[in-house]
Structure 1
C-alpha cells in the first residue's frame, strides 16, 4: 500500500443500537481498526479520526484517500465486525495503480456500502 494512504473514520457516526450515553459506533470502529492494524505491522496505512463525514444516514462511515488514486467513501459498516474486512479491502486498493479494485474483488461490504468514488486531484499544468 502506498505510504500516503489515509483511512478517515467518522467518530460521530451513531449506530442504530448505540446507547445514548455510551461510545458511538464510529468511535468503536476506530478502536477496532487500530487494534486490527496493530496486528499488521507491515501495513503502510494511517488511520485518522474525523468528527463527521456527513453521511449520517449510513453509519458507520469511512473514507480512503491516497495520492494519484481514486478516493472512496464507504458506509453501512458494522462497528464490531468490519475492521478486518476494511483493512483487507484497503490492501487490495493499495495493490492497484489507481485505487480502482475490480468489482468482484472488492469485499461485499465495499460493494454494498460504496457511497462515493472521487477522482484523483488533477496535477497542475506546468507554468
Structure 2
C-alpha cells in the first residue's frame, strides 16, 4: 500500500476569506494550527486513516492565500491547495483525501474534486521519479 502524507502549514494566518467564527474553537491558534487540529481529528475517525499521515510544516510559501495543504505520495501527483477555511473545508478535504489515497496515480479527475479543491488549487506537481 502506498504511504500518503498530508502536509499542513501551521504558520498560516487567517486571510479575509477564512476568518474564524466568534464561537470557533482554538482561540489564539493560527488558522493553520486550527486546520491541522481539525483535519487530524477527522482523519483519526475515518476508514482510510491507515493510508495517510498528517504532517505539520512551518511554511509552504503561499502566505497570501492561507490556509495551505499538500497531498503527497511516492509515484503520485502532488496537489497543493490554498484558501482553505479551518471551519468549513474539513468535509471537502476529507473527500479529496479519500479520492487521492484510493486513486493509483493520485490524479483525481477535475469534475470529481470538491469545490474547495477546485477553487483552491495552487499547483499539481509530477511524481518524483523512482530511484
TM-score w.r.t. structure 1 length? Answer: 0.88
* 1:24 alignment partner in structure 2: 30
Is the contact made by 1:33 and 1:84 (CA closer than 8 Å) also made in structure 2? Answer: no
TM-superposed deviation, 1:42: 3.8
CA RMSD, aligned part only? Answer: 1.6
State how far apart, in whole Å, the 1-side matches of 2:127 and 2:79 are. 10
Q: CA deviation at 1:63?
A: 0.4
Aligned match of 2:93: 86
Does 83-92 or 49-58 show the bigger shift? 83-92
Q: Which residue of 1 aligns with 2:14?
A: 15
Consecutive unaligned residues of structure 2, counting only runs of 5 or more, are 21-26
Instruction: Give the paired residue count.
Output: 121
Residues 5 and 66, structure 1, Cα contact 8 Å, conserved in 2 = yes
Q: Distance in 2 between matches of 1:35 and 1:99?
A: 23
CA, structure 1 residues 42+114, in 2 after alignment: closer, same or farther (shift >3 Å)? closer
- Mapped pair 1:114 → 2:113: no
In the aligned structure 1, how far is the partner of 2:116 from the partner of 2:57? 21
CA shift for structure 1 position 84: 2.2
- Which structure is larger by alpha-carbon Rg, 1 or 2? 1
The alignment's TM-score, normalised by the length of structure 2, stands at 0.86
What secondary structure does 1:98 align onto? coil
Structure 1: segments with no counterpart, 5+ residues: none
